[in-house]
Structure 1
């Protein structure tokens, strides 16, 4: 395991969750809503949550969300770094001018998503259950016990299918778009500048969330309500009740969250790499 990338993933996750958690709570509540017809907007849901449960309710699920994000980003940055090194060693061996293309970055991201989806599923189940409960005081341990009592240990992996369907294209788009932004839009060397690295991360995250969002709706529905429906059956059920717009319920807070949260994530990763290299006496 690459300690530099692992610790960068942890620090980046702390930055990401600190910026994005209230948006994530609103997203989860919109996604799990059974209201037919026109659903309340994100702002209305946020205000309703604060009025009924207090401001702290916008940070419900923070502990499992942090656990999920830390796990995800340890896996994402460590696995992606490993895959990059393997690609450079196999294809670019002996070629000092070899540079991984943006398309290759995207494909490595997709492979990374395969691993991360399975790794974060239990924490995602606990996070979503906690976020959507309107009663106070439901701890992560209580919810985990409830899930295992209802469905056994496999209940902690409910929604893994939609998670894979979400994370594989998500990381394909995230890494591909971020690298393309740094390469084609931002000034030269921007990926090494903390501000521009954050903008690239926000751009990649927003684009990816905008496209993969329907799979996240299916994941949330399965993790909240259970049942044995497949991902496609879950999505068909949503469309049958609420139309195609039902698959985009919560889209606005998700995409709004993506820019600051993913920007903070990439900012944190790059900042920690600089700190680590300074401590270890390596060239930055």
Structure 2
């Protein structure tokens, strides 16, 4: 085996073990992209784009049902009745309304979310040093994911505004092409970002839970469930762990972020509405639970699929899958 250059050994010795797993064992026969280089973060952004854009677009029918139940609970009383009303009034195409702003918006959000998470995770680890980063790794996950999501939501917000209008107001617009300029004409560019604060309220806790829970679940699975160290597992096993860890994390995400999800739908559907208006119409219990079972299924499936796609993308680029590196991982 060829000797590893001294500067490479010195650089990797500063990386906490939980952030680095040998890519030769975990992903590909040779490392094509240097870890933590600009190319590495770009590859992570591509993986995030693919993982979020396609998965969110795929569950558009569930999102249509959920949003209508959140906006008009008096009319849309259950999942089954909501599907029936949409099919009767709009046909099968009604269940897929909003797929375009969903795909574009969540593709942009995913690229920023995953790429910047990897960046901030490394930066914050370097700031506190290897010992503290290893001891307080969950705080690193939380801080890195929160920082990334703040930026990612600014990219998502305009498309989320269009999506909610298209899905809950059939007469408003057909899709992204006519919905976006219509909002700008009526409310100005600022109208596209009107929901950014409740979006942060929904997405930041969601993403913090998503990343921190995932990382810890994956670590626990390799420690207590998988009989083989991660470095010795096949790619298929590692990707299976990524999907399972993502699905479990998604259930927690859905519960934590659901009240804010109801608010995002409410604000984007009713101009000038306030939190008090939402509470008056939905009630505290309704704000926390309206549409929650459907969202648990949707978010759990989404999150599991996203981590599976994201780590598959990493494998494609010759990079290690996310999380689960043991303390015995070599860093030479």
**What is the TM-score when the length of structure 1 is the normalising length?**
0.86
Corresponding residue number in structure 1 for 2:144 = 108
Q: Secondary structure at the match of 2:240?
A: helix
Distance 2:171 2:191 in 1: 22
State the Cα distance separating 1:100 from its structure 2 match. 6.7
Q: Secondary structure at the match of 1:193?
A: helix
My pick for the range that moved more, 169-178 or 191-200, is 191-200
Is 1:158 the counterpart of 2:194? The answer is: yes
Is 1:33 the counterpart of 2:105? The answer is: no
How many residue pairs are counted as aligned between the two chains? 271
2:295 to 247, 254, 257: 254
Q: Secondary structure at the match of 2:174?
A: coil
Corresponding residue number in structure 2 for 1:84 = 121
Corresponding residue number in structure 2 for 1:213 = 258
Q: Would you say the 8 A contact 2:70–2:262 is kept in 1?
A: yes
Q: Would you say the 8 A contact 1:195–1:267 is kept in 2?
A: yes
Corresponding residue number in structure 2 for 1:141 = 177
State the Cα distance separating 1:135 from its structure 2 match. 4.5
Corresponding residue number in structure 2 for 1:238 = 278
Distance 2:98 2:54 in 1: 16
1:7 to 46, 49, 59: 46
Q: Would you say the 8 A contact 2:97–2:175 is kept in 1?
A: no
Corresponding residue number in structure 2 for 1:196 = 241
* 142 and 18 in structure 1: CA distance in 2 versus 1, 3 angstrom threshold: closer
* 61 and 43 in structure 1: CA distance in 2 versus 1, 3 angstrom threshold: same
Distance 1:220 1:135 in 2: 17
State the Cα distance separating 1:151 from its structure 2 match. 0.8
Q: Would you say the 8 A contact 1:209–1:254 is kept in 2?
A: yes
* 137 and 153 in structure 1: CA distance in 2 versus 1, 3 angstrom threshold: closer
Distance 1:25 1:211 in 2: 21
Distance 2:68 2:320 in 1: 46
Q: Would you say the 8 A contact 1:10–1:70 is kept in 2?
A: yes
Corresponding residue number in structure 1 for 2:94 = 57
* 14 and 140 in structure 1: CA distance in 2 versus 1, 3 angstrom threshold: closer
Distance 2:251 2:320 in 1: 32
* 45 and 115 in structure 1: CA distance in 2 versus 1, 3 angstrom threshold: same
State the Cα distance separating 1:124 from its structure 2 match. 0.5
Is 1:168 the counterpart of 2:204? The answer is: yes
Q: Would you say the 8 A contact 1:15–1:268 is kept in 2?
A: no
User: Please, which runs of 5 or more residues in structure 1 have no aligned partner?
Assistant: none
My pick for the range that moved more, 60-69 or 126-135, is 126-135
My pick for the range that moved more, 99-108 or 212-221, is 99-108
Aligned-residue CA RMSD (Å) = 2.5
Dislocated runs of 4+, deviation >6 Å: none
| Offset from partner CA, 1:133-186 (integer Å, 9 cap, x none) | 234971312111221121111110111110111122111111111112112245
CA radius of gyration, larger in: 2
Q: Secondary structure at the match of 2:74?
A: coil
State the Cα distance separating 1:34 from its structure 2 match. 5.7
| Offset from partner CA, 1:219-277 (integer Å, 9 cap, x none) | 111111121x4xxxx33222223322331322222111011111111111011111122
Distance 1:160 1:283 in 2: 34
